[in-house]
Amino acid sequence: MTAQPIVEYFKNYLPLNKEEIKLLNERTKQRLIKRRQMILQEGFVCKHYTFVVTGCFKMYGTDEKGNAHNISFAAENDWIADLGSFYSEKPSKLFIEALEPSTILQIEKTDLLFLFVNVTKFDRNFRVIVEEKLIELQNRLLLNFSSNTQQRYTVFLEQYPNLAMRLSNVQIASYLGVTPEFLSKIRAQKPSK
């Protein structure tokens, strides 16, 4: 069953019945992704909601100097997509790249809209998922305005407890908006959880 990891994930929200699971399986594609492989590049339209079964991804943008700025990470049992591009069907300004070899499940926009219209649980489950991501983003913005790097790093460890050892200093520093050298000093002061 292709979509079984999503079925398990939805048990945290509104569980699916057999018919709903069948519809999900018919509209979900599994892909194996290599480390450093892009599933979205700047200038292309984001055509999928992606669920991470195994592995880890980063979503990032680049500035005019070509420096990457990590916006978010997604590892096992998490979703990743450029929602602005996905819904507007306009070219993305972001990249989504695998940091590890990964297995993902993807749902195309037309299939997702079909599920929203025909199975109200999908609409509700995805609304909660997007709301949770919005809250996460709001909290991160507030934290960036009102806290120091040490505090931001502590929150990062709380938000991504399993990623601190999987990500390089460069990836975490980009997310926090500091240099890798400065992050090394912070990490030396505070033991990881």
The pLDDT of residue 131 is 94
pTM > 0.75: yes
CA pseudo-torsion sign 146, 164, 41, 69 = positive
Q: How far from chain centre, in Å, is Cα 175?
A: 13
Which domains occur in the chain, in start order? Answer: 4-118 (2.60.120.10)
What is the rounded end-to-end Cα distance, in angstroms, of the chain? Answer: 35
The pLDDT of residue 145 is 87
The pLDDT of residue 140 is 87
Return d(Cα 161, Cα 89) in angstroms, integer.
Answer: 33
Return d(Cα 9, Cα 115) in angstroms, integer.
Answer: 16
The pLDDT of residue 100 is 97
Q: At what angle do helices 109-118 and 18-26 cross, to 10 degrees?
A: 160
The pLDDT of residue 191 is 54
Return d(Cα 136, Cα 144) in angstroms, integer.
Answer: 12
Return d(Cα 187, Cα 178) in angstroms, integer.
Answer: 12
The pLDDT of residue 165 is 87
Return d(Cα 125, Cα 11) in angstroms, integer.
Answer: 10
Return d(Cα 49, Cα 104) in angstroms, integer.
Answer: 10
Average pLDDT of adjacent 10-residue blocks, the chain of 193 residues: 91 94 96 98 97 97 93 95 96 98 97 94 93 90 89 90 89 92 84 49
